[in-house]
Amino acid sequence: GKSGYEHYMLKEIHEQPRALRQCLRGRVNEMEGRVSLDVDFDPERVQFVACGTSYHAALCGAHLLQRSGIPAQAFLASEYATSPPPIGEDLVVGVTQSGETADTLSALREARRRGARTLAVTNVVGSTVSRECDQTLYVRAGPEIGVAATKTFAAQVVALTMLALTTDGEQRDAIAALRDLPGNVQAVLDSSTAREVAEEYVDSEAFFFIGRGLCYPVALEGALKFKEITYEHAEGFAAGELKHGPLALVTEDTPVFAVVTGDGELARKTIGNVKEVEARDAPVIAVTDGQSDVERYADHVLRIPTSEPRTAAVLANVQLQLVAYHTAAMLGRSIDKPRNLAKSVTVE
Ligand code: M6R
């Protein structure tokens, strides 16, 4: 059942600390500063294929592998299957919560026809994807009932973070950040003011989400979750792309959620974009770990604990899940079963 929560989605959002502990269990060795997964992973190059939320996790995965020095690229499964790029010796990784998504299965079949080795990253033991791929990495988030993917996204990103770490040497900082992540997610759940933000902006005309680097897939995911369950117009943009078009949509009636972590170059540049939207009188909601001064330019701040950039993305996403949830609840939407959508999409 829903254990007292009004919706499965809210229950599953709150299950994220536990889902992440299960995902991490037995896989990170703090003493040795190493990650060990029961898959062989030593590829020349990696291609990810996935759909929807899992595609956003795949974008994070590609970014994390690149950071570890492995060329990697994420493809929408539906585009990969119709015009597959050259693969050579690549490993093709299918990221799919259900393990049954037709577009993803067909992209992986195409990859195998072309001689690639395949790895499934999935939540469901015995799913079609796990039977068809050479190897499987389970994300162990536990069953997810809500159509909107929440805890499985967090677990996918953590599983892909671990996968990237297996290729690096000693990774004590990243491992410590992973160890602290479930507790930090709990801290976000306990302190979030997302409901107030939802209340203030529920009647807006449209909702925009911006970020750079790993915060870009978080912006895309924030917008997808938002449109899926609120039925309102929401879009995620790479922060740097705003001025190349989307800025024309920005008004005082379009709140902009800016995902800004750390205090480096990316944060500085996103803050520049925040100033651009502010100059158009758009309300700005900063989702931030407080390391930069983005808060000075924001109407609201959704704080996340300070952590490593690799884990900050998961924390920021939790805030955006809560904003989407509370907005949809205020609008009286069918949150666990949004109109026109199915939990697993078994047609191409
Ligand atoms: O089961 P999968 O991860 O392959 O599903 C892919 C998408 O259909 C799925 O993530 C969809 O976008 C979600 N409903 C988003 O919340």
ipTM: 0.98
Question: How close is the Cα of 231 to the center of ligand 1, in Å?
Answer: 17
Mean pLDDT of the region 223-249 = 97
**Separation of alpha carbons 121 and 137, rounded Å:** 5
Q: Which residues line ligand 1 (CB under 6 A)?
A: 51-54, 96-98, 101, 104, 147-149, 228, 344-345
23 token code pair: 């995902």
Question: How close is the Cα of 279 to the center of ligand 1, in Å?
Answer: 36
Average model confidence (pLDDT) for the chain? 96
Q: Is residue 105 very low, low, confident or very high in pLDDT (cuts 50, 70, 90)?
A: very high
Q: What percent of the chain has pLDDT over 70?
A: 100
Q: Is residue 123 very low, low, confident or very high in pLDDT (cuts 50, 70, 90)?
A: very high
Q: Which atom of ligand 1 is nearest to the CA of 104?
A: 4
Q: What percent of the chain has pLDDT over 90?
A: 90
Which residue out of 54, 145, 335 has the highest number of ligand 1 atoms within 8 Å of its CB and is therefore the one to mutate? 54
Q: Is residue 33 very low, low, confident or very high in pLDDT (cuts 50, 70, 90)?
A: confident
**Separation of alpha carbons 208 and 235, rounded Å:** 5
Output phi, psi for 219, to 5 deg.
-65, -45
Q: Residue with the nearest Cα to atom 9 of ligand 1?
A: 52
Question: How close is the Cα of 246 to the center of ligand 1, in Å?
Answer: 26
Annotated catalytic, 343?
Answer: yes
**Separation of alpha carbons 258 and 235, rounded Å:** 12
Q: Residue with the nearest Cα to atom 12 of ligand 1?
A: 52
Q: Residue with the nearest Cα to atom 10 of ligand 1?
A: 53
The answer to whether 203 and 299 are in contact (CB under 8 A) is no
**Separation of alpha carbons 24 and 19, rounded Å:** 9
pLDDT, one tens digit per residue, over 166-208 is 987 778 899 999 999 999 999 999 999 999 999 999 999 999 9
pLDDT, one tens digit per residue, over 39-70 is 999 999 999 999 999 999 999 999 999 999 99
